[in-house]
Amino acid sequence: MNKHSLKDWLVAVRPWSFPASAMPVAVTLAYLYWAGYEVNWINGVWALLNIIVFHAAGNTWSDYFDYKHRVDREDTHGVRTLTGGLFRPQEIYRLSLSLLVVALIAGIGLLLRTGLPLLYIGIGGAACTLLYPTLKYRALGDVVIFIAYALLPMLGTAYVATGVTDWNTMWAGVPVGLITVAILHANNTRDIETDVRADISTLAMTLGGRASMYLYCAEVLFPFGWIAGCAAGGLFPWWTMLVWIALVPALGNVRMMSRYPVLGMEGISRLDELTAKLQLMFSLLFTLSFVLARLFS
């Protein structure tokens, strides 16, 4: 077996992608704090760390199957742990299974501290992780990402932190989830040309380049209008308008995507990375706004 450094293992799990899973939990905890719940912060932090481990398992699981099905090759964009020869496929496969086992054990521990509803949420999360490659190849990856990084973590966090399954968290889940989905959609739009030869079907491939461009723009701009509407309707405090600061990088991303019909995949080669940074900024501002609203109410 090849010897790998700690840096190699970190590259393999793609820690720069973790805000996509961590931020929905952070936003939910802040929302619950603003809403006046008595929050169990130990359970909340436990849930935060556990979903990051699940995310790492999902990253490596997806990389393994993308390599196995020749979706990822030497000339494709993205992480090159397998295509660049840094790891052997079986090493990534074993790493993914190990991370999944750790996440499941930690999830069982949290289940014992809370109650049975968490079991169903956990099963849903594990299913999303394991089935994601198959569903992604059938144009359902965007749906899975929204479920796995908005619906399930926000409901699960609300339950473990308060003992209540509060569906009102979905008002906050929609904008956070859409920008997270936009990360995947930017990646898939960039890879339309190379994914064709792999004989798979992503949503971007189904829609085509121009429609995918419009969808991406909607995914990153609609959340700002959603939050303004929720604030006007009394569902969110007016402090949540702080997220509009993130409109500046969002518009920059929209301008980059608008060049796709002319420049092609090279014109948006970094758009998934920039969308991940947008998601982090947006979610941090969203989290901060709920905390400030509670402190200054």
* pLDDT tens-digit series, residues 87-113: 898 999 999 999 999 999 999 999 999
Residues of the chain above pLDDT 90, percent: 63
The predicted model scores a pTM of 0.90
Cβ atoms of residues 61 and 96 within 8 Å: yes
Please report the pLDDT score of residue 57 as a whole number. Answer: 92
Please report the pLDDT score of residue 87 as a whole number. Answer: 86
Flag whether 179 is in a domain. yes
What would the two tokens of residue 215 be?
Answer: 């969808």
Flag whether 2 is in a domain. no
Flag whether 1 is in a domain. no
Cβ atoms of residues 175 and 206 within 8 Å: no
Picking from 7-11, 196-200, 241-245, 287-291, which range would have the lowest pLDDT averaged per residue?
A: 196-200
Mean pLDDT of 252-274: 91
Higher model confidence: residue 78 or residue 156? 156
Mean pLDDT of 276-288: 96
- Three-state DSSP at 201 gives strand
Give the structural domain span for 127. Answer: 7-295
Please report the pLDDT score of residue 83 as a whole number. Answer: 79
Mean pLDDT, the chain, whole residue set: 91
Picking from 8-22, 229-243, 246-260, which range would have the lowest pLDDT averaged per residue?
A: 8-22
What would the two tokens of residue 120 be?
Answer: 């169903």
Q: How confident is the model at residue 35 (pLDDT cuts 50, 70, 90)?
A: very high
Please report the pLDDT score of residue 251 as a whole number. Answer: 98
Flag whether 112 is in a domain. yes
Cβ atoms of residues 96 and 64 within 8 Å: yes
Domain count for the chain, please give it: 1
Please report the pLDDT score of residue 195 as a whole number. Answer: 80
Q: Is the pLDDT of residue 1 over 60?
A: no
Selection from 217, 226, 221 nearest residue 185 by Cα: 217
- Rounded to whole angstroms, the Cα distance separating 247 from 284 reads 13
Q: Is 171 exposed, middle or buried (0-12, 13-18, 19+ CB in 10 A)?
A: middle
